[in-house]
Amino acid sequence: MYETELFEMECEVAMIVAKICRKNPEQIVPGEVLADLGIDSIRYLELMAELEERFGFEFEVEDMRPEWFHSVRTLSRFLRRRIGL
Amino acid sequence: MREGRLDVLVRDLTAAYLFYRERCGSETDFFRLPVIGKSTIAEQPSWFMHPDPPARLWESYTSGSTGVPFRCVKSESEKQTLSFAILSHRRGWGLPLRHTSLLLSNRFLDEPHMMAHYADCILRGRPQMIQGRSSALAALAAYMADNGLAVPESLRFVQNWGEPLQPAHKAAVERAFGVPFYDYYGMEEIWPIAFSDAEGHLVVDERMVFLEVLNPETDRPVPEGEFGELVVTSFVMRSMPFVRYRTGDIGSVRRDPATGKLILSLLPVRSTQIRLPGRQAQPAIFRYLDKYFYELSLHSGVRQFQIVQESYTAFRLKIAAPSGELDTAALAARLQNFLKQYLALEVNVGVESVPFIAPDPVSGKYHPFVSFIP
């Protein structure tokens, strides 16, 4: 069940990342480093704004840790914990 | 917790970096590590590089006050951590994630035509944030007010960086822009050190740095609240470590007993600017200068000021203020008394009224204190 729910979250996050990077969602590999996908300091802001709007929360100071923004997979795990899934 | 982080840092340093292995291989006490500066790193840069660096490092350069370029590196992860720290403070100031910001050029005041350009950028771009040097922002605020240009409602705050924030500048900017003028203190080497809080205090971000205030003569800590040279240690930087690193800036810190915040006060003087015969500047002169700068800041008519040390005993006070509004002779006399107390000999202080005080031609920074003694 957990793996299924994590996969669903990864798909949603991948779609958001794809939108920001102007790629097809199929091109987004969950374990790939976001920086290698072209997510720079400006796009991180866009990514965070999209995630806040999609999942209905606001990033706190303690949420802004690089290890959670490493890849779609790590970001998905963070989001599941953060929004209480 | 802070002592634990410093212990970990010492272990990492002595294990990884050639400089620390060679100079203090068996050291375990952070406070016995050497105090270093740009020149230490510049002389042997390879001794400060991590033996296993990431594949990609981001380069930047800073010249500080010397004009000599100094190469800084950061890994992607370090950049992200430091960027998030800055973002978290700006969000606290009211910056939305989706925003437009305007950054004023370092050489803005050298190019008067840029005033109209930046005013146009503000009116058209409707930024949520404007950042730049305190003196440049004050000049832009005056330009917009003088020309009756209304600041867009999009603007949430203005942020200082690269210069000590003058109270007169802060008041002028807040009056003209109608938003808070927040302070930021950092360095290109390690980015953030301190940010304004809601009460207007400059608060050290102790997640990012450990800040010491040292007597420049002895490199020993000064008592809390006393002025001395600021020496900073980054908890983030590992691709190139900055540990007990001289900032060249003079300041004091005190721990707020109610909030636990470490509050920083900066003196608008760099340690390299004060020249004394045969000795380094002692904390006592910083205390006197701080009092003098504070008294100057109470005079709302002072747009700019600059103390010029022409010799060991001759100083000139340059003031830009509307004519007839200030008793410049009294201001000069107070400076003379302050300096005489410290130097224990007669000093001469002349006064010069000027329409404008230009920034440093190399750095573009405005310096409230300069010395002509080599």
Which residue from A minimizes the CA distance to B236? A66
Q: In this predicted structure, what is the pLDDT of residue A28?
A: 92
Low-confidence ranges of chain B (pLDDT < 70): 1-3, 63-68, 110, 278-280, 299-300, 323-325, 345
Nearest-CA distance A1 → chain B (Å):
32
Query: What is the C-alpha to C-alpha distance for residues B271 and B297, in angstroms, rounded to an integer?
Result: 21
Instruction: Tell me which chain B residues have a C-beta less than 8 angstroms from the C-beta of A41.
Output: 79-80, 83
Q: What angle do CA B55, B59, B62 make, to 5 degrees?
A: 155
User: Cβ separation of B88 and A61 shorter than 8 Å?
Assistant: yes
Per-residue confidence at A11, pLDDT binned at 50, 70, 90?
very high
Q: In this predicted structure, what is the pLDDT of residue B280?
A: 66
Six token digits for residue B41? 């790193």
Q: In this predicted structure, what is the pLDDT of residue B64?
A: 60
Query: What is the C-alpha to C-alpha distance for residues B10 and B21, in angstroms, rounded to an integer?
Result: 10
How many Cα atoms sit within 13 Å of B162 on the Cβ side?
Answer: 23
Query: What is the C-alpha to C-alpha distance for residues B370 and B291, in angstroms, rounded to an integer?
Result: 18
ipTM attached to this prediction:
0.82
Instruction: For an interface test with B, give the residue of A46, A61, A65, A75 to mutate (most B CBs within 10 A).
Output: A61
Nearest-CA distance B176 → chain A (Å):
29
Identify the three-state secondary structure at position B95.
coil
Give the other-Cβ count within 10 Å of A14's Cβ. 22
Q: In this predicted structure, what is the pLDDT of residue B47?
A: 92
The answer to whether A31 faces chain B, any CB pair under 8 Å, is no
B124-177 pLDDT, tens digit each? 999 999 999 988 898 899 899 999 999 999 999 999 988 888 888 898 899 999
The answer to whether A45 faces chain B, any CB pair under 8 Å, is yes
Which residue from A minimizes the CA distance to B55? A36
Q: In this predicted structure, what is the pLDDT of residue B3?
A: 58
The answer to whether A68 faces chain B, any CB pair under 8 Å, is no
Q: In this predicted structure, what is the pLDDT of residue B300?
A: 60
Q: In this predicted structure, what is the pLDDT of residue B256?
A: 96
B67-124 pLDDT, tens digit each? 567 889 999 889 989 999 999 999 999 999 999 999 998 777 767 788 899 999 999 9
Six token digits for residue B188? 């290109």
The answer to whether A64 faces chain B, any CB pair under 8 Å, is yes
The answer to whether A55 faces chain B, any CB pair under 8 Å, is no
B75 close to B239: Cβ distance less than 8 angstroms: yes
The answer to whether A32 faces chain B, any CB pair under 8 Å, is no
Average pLDDT over residues A55-69: 88
How many Cα atoms sit within 13 Å of B112 on the Cβ side?
Answer: 3
**Of B76, B77, B87, which is closest to A64 when you measure between CB atoms?**
B87
- Evaluated on CA atoms B288, B291, B297, B298, the torsion sign reads negative
With a CB cutoff of 8 Å and minimum separation 6, the contacts of B227 are B213, B250, B251, B252, B265, B267, B283, B286, B287, B290
A–B CB contacts, 8 A cutoff, strictly below: 33
Q: In this predicted structure, what is the pLDDT of residue A47?
A: 94
User: Cβ separation of A46 and B98 shorter than 8 Å?
Assistant: yes
Residue indicated by tokens 């109608």: B178
Instruction: Tell me which chain B residues have a C-beta less than 8 angstroms from the C-beta of A49.
Output: 96-98
Q: In this predicted structure, what is the pLDDT of residue A42?
A: 82
Nearest-CA distance A45 → chain B (Å):
6
> Is residue A2 over pLDDT 80?
no
Look up the pTM and report it: 0.88
Q: In this predicted structure, what is the pLDDT of residue B66?
A: 56
First-residue to last-residue Cα distance in chain B: 44
Instruction: Tell me which chain B residues have a C-beta less than 8 angstroms from the C-beta of A65.
Output: 81, 84
Task: Give me the helix-helix angle, A72-82 and A41-55, nearest 10°.
Answer: 40
Phi, psi angle pair for B287, to nearest 5°: -60, -45
Instruction: Tell me which chain A residues have a C-beta less than 8 angstroms from the C-beta of B81.
Output: 65-66
Nearest-CA distance B98 → chain A (Å):
7
**Of B76, B84, B98, which is closest to A64 when you measure between CB atoms?**
B84
Q: In this predicted structure, what is the pLDDT of residue B324?
A: 65
A29-58 pLDDT, tens digit each? 999 989 888 888 888 999 999 999 999 999
